[in-house]
Amino acid sequence: MDSALHASDTSPGRFRVLVADDEDDIRDLVCLAVRKAGCDVVRSVADGSVALAAAGTDLPDLAVLDVSMPGATGLEVCTALRADPATAGIRILLLSAGASPDEVARGLSAGADAYLAKPFTIAGLVHQVRSLTAGVPA
């Protein structure tokens, strides 16, 4: 997936999604699911710090963040997005191989709107994306 996708590559009136995962195959699957959900991928990145910067400039409707990434973890990105008034309204879906109740609670406490355990199904991710973008003004 090309990390150079920008807002100009999206369709007007469609929900804009930032995807961040350090595993290329997972990132590609997430982008596929986002598109199947009827949304546009505004940016696809492999690093948490890059994801945080992209969220500030692209202002997506939804950020799908892997919990374990270089640069900054998905939890750190989530906390930073919630702390900044400019990005506080971005919906956040965390993805993680860790699905214990404590790990899910940490993700939700960091400000995530939803938490999805890996491995996930494409259908399950499409459902989550649609659910999180329902009611978001396009």
- Return the amino acid letter for 10: T
Instruction: Say whether the peptide bond before residue 119 is cis (omega within 30 degrees of 0).
Output: yes
- Ranges 2-11, 28-37, 67-76: which has the least confidence: 2-11
- Work out the burial of residue 137: count CB atoms within 10 Å of its CB; fewer than 13 is exposed, 13-18 middle, 19 or more buried: exposed
The pLDDT-based confidence of 70 (bands split at 50, 70, 90) is: very high
Phi, psi of 29 (to 5 degrees): -65, -40
Mean pLDDT calculated for residue range 112-136 = 92
Percent of all residues in the chain with a pLDDT value above 70, rounded to a whole number? 88
Domains annotated for the chain, with CATH where assigned, are 13-123 (3.40.50.2300)
pLDDT digits (tens, 9 = 90+) for 20-59: 999 999 999 999 999 999 999 999 999 999 999 999 999 9
Task: Quote the CA–CA distance of 122 and 32 in Å, as a whole number.
Answer: 8
Task: Quote the CA–CA distance of 66 and 115 in Å, as a whole number.
Answer: 10
Mean pLDDT calculated for residue range 116-130 = 95
pLDDT digits (tens, 9 = 90+) for 83-108: 999 999 999 999 999 889 999 999 99
What does the DSSP 8-state code read for residue 81? Answer: H
